[in-house]
């Protein structure tokens, strides 16, 4: 932050670990990009890495967009859009920038590689700064972080929780519908509660869970809180 002759540095995230995930240029539409981000969000939630709240900054997304004519391999000039804070804004920003780039090429108008931001009040991308053709980042070892050697024994000893796509397949195999599965994937409290109910008919139990318990929670504003029921008591009640 700059003010007159002074520069202020904000250290409010000092010491907070950051995971940066970089994809290859293999996503071909806004829908694919959104699905990719949703999968990442569900995974970090399932593994308790982060609360993944985009509006609070726990998860943010930068997108890089470039186009090419059908049948060609080389991509045209790349534009980066920084710090997108919601799934809907990711889709809107990509669609707007794609249309903008295609329009430029159809009119034989060139543009520089640059960084933009998304103005959600106008649903447009706005230039922040231009980039040269040089490599954007220079990577070098951090002198304060020692090298970490991960041997096979350590790697093989690590067990990972059930991932969202595995959970989705399990629920599909048990006969749940897509709406129910979506709610369970996006609400681990619901999923854990349902999975711990004692039942011989999972599908029937799930239907009761959603029609009675989830409905009650929603009506009484418990949707984002811990379920205020004992799983064993609910199991006994359902069996009765």
Contact criterion met (CB below 8 Å) for 124 and 93:
no
80 pLDDT above the threshold of 70: yes
Q: What are the residue boundaries of the structural domains of the chain, listed by start?
A: 2-130, 164-239
CA distance 206 to 239: 13
The pLDDT tens digits of the residues spanning 121-156 come to: 999 999 998 876 555 566 777 788 788 888 999 988
Contact criterion met (CB below 8 Å) for 152 and 159:
no
Give SS3 for 139: coil
CA distance 183 to 188: 9
The pLDDT tens digits of the residues spanning 179-211 come to: 999 999 988 899 999 999 998 899 999 999 999
The pLDDT of residue 101 is 95
Query: For residue 106, what pLDDT band results from cuts at 50, 70 and 90?
Result: very high
Helix%, strand%, coil% for the chain, nearest 5: 40, 10, 45
Share of the chain above pLDDT 90, in %: 58
The pLDDT tens digits of the residues spanning 22-44 come to: 999 899 999 999 999 999 999 99
The pLDDT of residue 105 is 92
What are 107-114's contacts with CB under 8 Å, separation 24+?
110/77, 111/77, 111/79, 112/77, 113/77, 113/78, 113/79, 114/79, 114/80
């Amino acid at each position: 932050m700059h003010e007159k002759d002074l520069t202020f540095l904000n250290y409010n995230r000092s010491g907070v670990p950051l995971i940066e995930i970089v994809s290859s240029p293999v996503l071909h539409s806004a829908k694919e990009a959104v699905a990719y981000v949703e999968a990442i969000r569900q995974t970090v939630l399932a593994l308790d890495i982060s609360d993944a709240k985009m509006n609070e900054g726990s998860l943010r997304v930068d997108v890089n967009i470039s186009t090419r004519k059908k049948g060609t391999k080389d991509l045209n000039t790349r534009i980066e859009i920084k710090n997108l804070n919601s799934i809907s804004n990711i889709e809107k920003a990509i669609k707007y920038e794609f249309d903008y780039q295609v329009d430029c090429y159809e009119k034989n108008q060139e543009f520089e590689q640059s960084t933009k931001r998304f103005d959600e009040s106008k649903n447009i991308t706005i230039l922040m700064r231009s980039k040269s053709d040089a490599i954007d980042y220079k990577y070098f070892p951090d002198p304060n972080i020692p090298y970490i050697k991960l041997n096979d024994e350590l790697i093989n000893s690590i067990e990972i929780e059930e991932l969202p796509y595995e959970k989705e397949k399990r629920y599909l195999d048990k006969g749940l519908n897509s709406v129910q599965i979506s709610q369970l994937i996006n609400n681990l409290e619901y999923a854990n509660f349902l999975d711990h109910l004692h039942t011989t008919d999972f599908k029937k139990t799930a239907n009761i869970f959603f029609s009675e318990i989830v409905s009650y929670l929603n009506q009484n504003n418990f949707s984002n809180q811990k379920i205020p029921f004992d799983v064993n008591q609910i199991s006994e009640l359902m069996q009765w």
